[in-house]
Amino acid sequence: MRIAAYTGGPNVPSARARVRQYIEPLRALGVRVTEYPLPWGNVLPRRRSVQPIWAASTAAARLISLTRSWTADVTWVSRQLLPAFVPVQALARRPLVLDVDDAVWLNTGGRRAKDLARASTAVVCGNEYLAEYFRQWNSAVHVIPTAIDTHLLHPARKTNTSGNPVVVGWSGTSGNFPLLYEIEGAIAHVMQERSNVRFRVMADRPPRFKHLPEARVEFVRWAPGLEPEVIQQMSIGLMPLVEDAWCAGKCSYKMLCYMACGVPVVVSPVGMNREVLAHGAVGFGATHTSEWVETLLELIDNDALRGHMGAEGRSVVERHFSLDRLVPAYAEIFRSVAYASGKTAVAETA
C-alpha cells in the first residue's frame, strides 16, 4: 500500500512525531509512506518583504506535490495542507486521512479545519478532547496518542550522581516560551532555595528570563538527534500549561519524552497531562506557584523518589504510548479506508 503524506516542514514537531517516525515501522507492515513536507516550513516569515515570495513559493510547492497523491492509495495530511485558507484539498486523491495533534480549529476561525475534516475519509486525533470536537465535522474519528520511539528515547545508563547538580529541564519550541515564563517565579524561588539546581532549556532560540541567575541557566539549541541525550541528562522535566482551549488540545508529547527517558515530571494537570498522570506515579501535577515550588523541592531533595517516579514513567510509556504499540493502529486505519474505497493495493503485504 502506498501513502502520500503531507506535512508542515522538515523541522515541524507534528511532522516528526506523528508522521516521519512512522515511516520505517509502517514499511515493515507493507505500508509505504512518502512524505512531502513544505520546504520552507508552515510559519509565515517575520520579515514582511519576503512574505509574498514565501506565500507564493509555498503554495506552488504544495500544489505540485499534491499531484503525487494521485499515484498513492491513501493521502495522509498532517494538520493542514497550506498555512492559509485555500481549499486545495479538492486536488488531493481520496481516500484522505487528516491527522491532528492540536486545537487547530482555533486558527483562522476554524473554517480551514472544518472544511478539511469534512473532505476527509477519516480523522485521527491525538487525544479525546480533539476527537470530540472533530466528530461534529466527521463521523469517522479515531484517537491515537502521539507515539514515543522507546528505542530512541530511553533512560541513560546509571552512573554515580552523588554531588552532581540537579538539572531541572524544559524542552519545546520558542512559541511556547510564554507558558514557561508563567512559572519563572517558581523556578527562581527553587533556585534560590537550592544552590545545587541548574535549569536547562532546549529550544530553537534562547529564552529571555528576567529572574533566573544567568550563570545557572543552560540553553541548548535544538538539533536533530540531540534530544535524547539532552533529556537523559535532566533530573526533572517540566511541562507548564494554562487552562484554555489551545492547551487542552495538547497531546503531552514533551511530558512523554521525559518519561520515556526515565525522568520524573512536574506538569500542569491540564487536558491530556491529567490523563497521563492518572496512569501511575510518574511525577506531580502543579497548578499554583506554591505547588510548583513544593513539588520541585520534594523531587530535588529525594533522589530515591526521582528514581522511582522515573522508572514508573518509563513503564507507562512502554505500556500505553510506545511507537511499537501504536504503529499497527495507523496501518489498520489506512487499510480500512483504502479497502472501503476499493483500492487494489490493499492486498499488498510487503
Left if phi > 0, otherwise alpha if psi is -120 to 50, otherwise beta: which for 92? beta
Q: Does residue 310 sit in the same domain as residue 334? A: no
Q: Are residues 195 and 58 located together in one domain of the fold?
A: no
Residue 21 cell numbers, joined: 517516525
Q: Are residues 328 and 315 in the same domain?
A: no
Ranges of the chain whose pLDDT falls below 70: 43-45, 50, 54, 82-88, 90-91, 108-110, 158-162, 343-350
What 3-state class would DSSP assign to 140?
coil
Task: Report the relative pairing of strands 122-125 and 141-143 from DSSP bridges.
Answer: parallel
Instruction: Report pTM.
Output: 0.90
Dist CA 112 CA 264 (whole Å): 38
> Which three cell numbers, joined as nine digits, stand for 140?
469517522
Asked whether residue 159 is assigned to any structural domain, the reply reads no
Query: 25 and 11, same structural domain?
Result: yes
Residues 142 and 198 in one domain: no
At 179-202, the pLDDT tens digits run: 999 999 999 999 999 999 999 999
Are residues 68 and 132 part of one domain? yes
- Helix pair 289-300, 184-193: axis angle to 10 deg: 40
Percent of the chain exceeding pLDDT 90 equals: 73
Domain limits at 304?
Answer: 166-320
Residues 294 and 328 in one domain: no
Contact 316/56 with Cβ under 8 angstroms?
no
Same domain for 201 and 241: yes
pLDDT for 204 = 93
C-alpha cell at 82: 497550506
Q: What is the pLDDT of residue 316?
A: 98
Domain count, the chain: 2
Q: Tell me, yes or no, whether 151 lies in a domain.
A: no
121-166 per-position pLDDT tens digit: 999 999 999 999 999 999 999 999 999 999 999 999 766 566 789 9
83 and 140 both lie in a single domain: yes
pLDDT attached to residue 66: 82
The number of beta carbons lying within 10 Å of the beta carbon of residue 4 is: 24
How far is it, in rounded angstroms, from Cα 153 to Cα 148? 7
Closest to 285 measured CA to CA, from 131, 13, 304, 299 = 299
> Quick one: which of 303, 313, 308 has its CA closest to 166?
303
Cβ burial of 170 (10 Å; 0-12, 13-18, 19+) is buried
Residue 137 within a domain: yes
